[in-house]
Every structure is written in structure tokens, then in C-alpha cells.
Amino acid sequence: MTSLPRPPATNLLRLLFLGLSTLASPSRAQLELHVPASLARLQAVEGAEAVLPVWYTLQGEVSSVQGLKVFLIWLFKQEGKEQVQLLSRFNGNTTSKNPRASLVYSKPSWNVSLHLRVLQETDTGSYSCSVNLLDSQNRDRGSSIKTLELNVLVPPAPPSCHLLGVPHVGANVTLSCQSPRSKPAAQYQWERPPPSAQVFFAPVSDATRGSLRLTNLSTSMSGVYICKAHNMVGSARCNVTLEVSTGPRAAVVAGAVVGILIGLGLLAGLVLLYQRWGKSLEEPANDIKEDAIAPRTLPWPKGSDTISKNGTLSSVTSARALRPPPSRPGALTPTPSISSQAPPSSKLPRTDGAHPKPTSASPGGVSSSALSRMGAVPVMVPAQSQAGSLV
């Protein structure tokens, strides 16, 4: 079978298509970013360093990439937060918004790997590398983007060990161990060092919660217990000393001491309260009342004579009333005195220029001895002048 010659028009169209393809290829380069498959997900330890490897290639003739500028951006996105820019480089100038982030090669290179120093747990997240090719007029001539995952692990922080319960013979106690920080979560292992070497497992030991349950204690269980907190990147430990007591329960002793102290405090409070109450009763009785009024009458034995209002014995009466003799103005008024067997007189003898002498009288004919037996006491009462003063 023979082939027929093609028309000239068909060959002409074919040549034209090949020419246009050759002219268009230098206008847009074929850019591609590369990340090793085994390094797309990285794990690093807090405080260490990490390198996120990325490089790019251009496919095509050398003439097609001459004069093109590379615009590089590294972006970071933490879970639950918005994406932020970490670093950028354009036309040879690098700008970093994180002092711990930089490029592995400071000069323009095909290798655009990111270097992170002094890693923190908050550096965990997604890192995206974007590369754009621009011509002299800043027109896009090619672009590519790759994403890597970084997980920052944290070794367990030093745990704290505690003893829960009262360690006496026959009792039950729990040893607890907990690390405040660990990523991933720490696992716990309890053990005893030599010479009583022993490792504890479930069910007495809880590897997730870090607790160790000891039942029916005996004196042979006394000693040091070590807790080890560990994860895939580190470990830490703490210890607690168990001393099993054979005496009375510490709780009972402590309760008795507290009860005694409370009782002594209450007793001291009652004593102070009683003393203050006694003082409050004594203070009104000890007050001196300067304006107190003397009693109007004094108690005398039955059958005794009466007393005047001012508390002095001005007259003594028995069966009959005693009537004192009349006195002149300005003269002393004598008080009745007791005399022996003196007859009563109605008038007092007087002399010119001399004060009258008081005379004694026995009222009602009662003798002085009889008055004395009755309990009478002779008293001098000062007379009062016309001006109202005592003479």
C-alpha cells in the first residue's frame, strides 16, 4: 500500500505550531519544590534545633530563567489559630519576624530550608514554603508551595511524690507521683532500690496516674520508694520514704493533742471571764459616795431613849418629856447634863456681865445612875446665835 503525498497546506500549519511552542516556552519556567517524603513530618525535642528541608528546581533552557527574580515566603499555622508569616526573601533581602527562625543559606540558593533554634512547645504546627518567580516587570512566571508538619516533644518535668494515709502496722496507704508537664503524657513506674530491690506492676501500680497502693503494712515494708516518670524523649524521678509505725495511730495521738489544747484554751477563757465578772461586781461596792445622807436614826436597845434628827443626843426622855430652860438671845444654850439628885428649877440665877452657868436637872426626877443604867450619854450641843452661826 502506497502513501499519498500530504498537501502543502498541512505541512505549513504544522511548522507554524512548532514555532509558536518554541517561542512560548521561555516565557514561563517550570518551577517545582521538593521535600523528602520521610521528612514531611518532623519531631523534635523542646530546647533543641530543627531544620525543615525544602529546595526548588527549574525545568527548561537556561535562557528561560535568566532575569527572573525569586520571591520566598515561610508561613506558620498553629492549631486553632490563624496563619502568620515567619520569614520572607525577595531580590536577595531576607526579613524574619521570629528571631529564632532563619534560612539555612543566607545567600540566594536553590536550597530554601528553614532553620529553627531553641524550640518551644508552641512551635508545634504546620509550616508552608511558597516560592514565586517574577520577571523584570514583577509578573508571575511560576510558583509552587509545600507544607511540612513539626511536632515539638517535651520530656517529663521532675515529678512530685506524696504519701497519702497514716503508715502504721496493718493500715493501707497510697504513694502518688505526678509530673506537671510532659508531651506526650508521661508513664510512671514505682520501684524500691537495693537491698530490698522490687519493681511494682498493675494492679497495685497505676502507670497512667502514677499511684502505688500498699495494703496491710508491716515493718518490713519501710524504706525508700522511687517513682520514675518517662516518655519517648526523656525521664525524671522522685522518691518518698515510708516509715511504718508500730505504736498508736498517729491520727489518734494528733487528735488527743488537739483536744487537750482546745480544752486548755476554753478553760483559760472561762477563768478570765470569771475574773472580769467578779471585778465588775466589786467596783460599784467600792465607790465612795461623797453626797451620801447620814442615817436618820441609830439603832438602840429596846427601851432606850430617842435621838434628835441630826444624830446627837440633845435630850433624854423617859416616861415624861424633858423641857429645857429658856435661853436669852446671844447666850449659850446649855445642854442638859446629868447631875446627882439636883432639884428642878424653873429659873436660872444670873449675874450682870457674866454668862449664866448651866444647871443640871434630872428630868422627871430620874437619877443620873438610873439614866446611866438606861444607856444615856451626856452630849454638849453648841448653841446658835441670832445670825445663824454656831457659838
Give the rounded distance of the alpha carbon of 206 from its chain centre. Answer: 33
Contact 180, 228 (CB under 8 A): no
Query: Measured at the alpha carbon of residue 334, what is the angle toward residues 328 and 335, in degrees to the nearest 5?
Result: 135
Distance separating alpha carbons of residues 1 and 220, to the nearest angstrom: 107
Cβ neighbors of 375 (< 8 A, separation 6 or more) are 300, 301, 304, 305
Q: Are 339 and 362 in contact (CB under 8 A)?
A: yes
Per-residue pLDDT at 12 = 43
What residues contact residue 256 under an 8 Å CB cut-off, 6+ apart? none
Interacting residues of 347 by C-beta distance below 8 A, sequence separation 6+: 325
d(Cα 139, Cα 131) in Å, to the nearest integer?
A: 14
Contact 179, 229 (CB under 8 A): yes
- The set of cell numbers assigned to 23 is 517561542
Residues linked to residue 214 through DSSP beta bridges, in sequence order = 173
Query: How would you label 80-94 residue by residue, b for 16+ Cβ within 10 Å and e otherwise?
Result: eeeeeebbbbeeeee
Q: Which of 132, 179, 122, 137 is nearest to 156 (CA)?
A: 179
DSSP states along 79-134: TTS--EEEEEEETTEEEESSTTEEES-SS--SB--EEE-S--GGG-EEEEEEEEEE
Picking from 227, 136, 219, the residue whose alpha carbon sits closest to that of residue 187 is 227
Q: Taking the chain (391 residues) in consecutive chunks of 10 residues, what is each chunk's mean pLDDT? A: 43 41 49 91 96 87 64 94 93 89 88 95 96 83 92 96 94 96 96 91 94 94 96 96 79 74 89 81 58 54 45 42 49 43 44 46 59 67 53 49
Q: What is the pLDDT of residue 306?
A: 43
What's the 3-state SS for 9-68?
Answer: HHHHHHHHHHHHHHHHHHHCCEEEEECCHHHCEEEEECCCCEEECCEEEEECCHHHHCCC
Q: Give the whole-angstrom CA distance, residue 154 versus residue 234.
A: 8
d(CA 257, CA 251): 10
